[in-house]
């Protein structure tokens, strides 16, 4: 398999992980005391993408004290708008990597046709 296809497949796997993180954040957006996570990408050698998932410790909106919760509770720190923007960016990254695989496949097919 070519380096271009391996790199694109690595990026697709990384974007799947990012999509999982975004889905988890969105599903817990209304969960008290939930802290969102972020997926960061890093280039690997010889060619590929490594994903690092980290928890974001910024505070959420404080909740008023009551008899059940007591004090010190807050809503999640998830911004639905920010997560939706991440989804759009991830969708475009998926599309770009699929196009890379398609272009490499076409080039290999043309090369084989020339050699045959």
Mean pLDDT calculated for residue range 79-94? 95
Q: Quick one: 51 exposed, middle or buried, by C-beta within 10 A (0-12, 13-18, 19+)? A: middle
The pTM assigned to this predicted structure is 0.80
Residues 111, 116: Cα–Cα separation, whole Å: 9
Mean pLDDT calculated for residue range 5-16? 92
- Bigger pLDDT: 43 vs 73: 43
Which residue range is the domain that position 54 belongs to?
3-115
Helices then strands, counting H and E runs in the chain, come out as 2, 2
For the chain, the domain total comes to 1
Residues 47, 7: Cα–Cα separation, whole Å: 6
């Amino acid at each position: 398999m070519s380096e271009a296809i391996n790199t694109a497949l690595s990026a697709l796997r990384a974007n799947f992980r990012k999509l999982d993180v975004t889905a988890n954040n969105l599903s817990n957006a209304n969960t008290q005391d939930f802290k969102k996570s972020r997926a960061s990408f890093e280039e690997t050698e010889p060619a590929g993408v490594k994903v690092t998932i980290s928890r974001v410790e910024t505070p959420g909106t404080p909740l008023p004290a009551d008899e059940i919760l007591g004090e010190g509770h807050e809503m999640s720190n998830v911004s639905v708008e920010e997560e939706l923007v991440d989804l759009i960016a991830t969708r475009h990254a998926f599309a770009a990597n699929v196009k890379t695989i398609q272009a490499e496949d076409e080039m290999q097919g043309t090369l084989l046709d020339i050699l045959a």
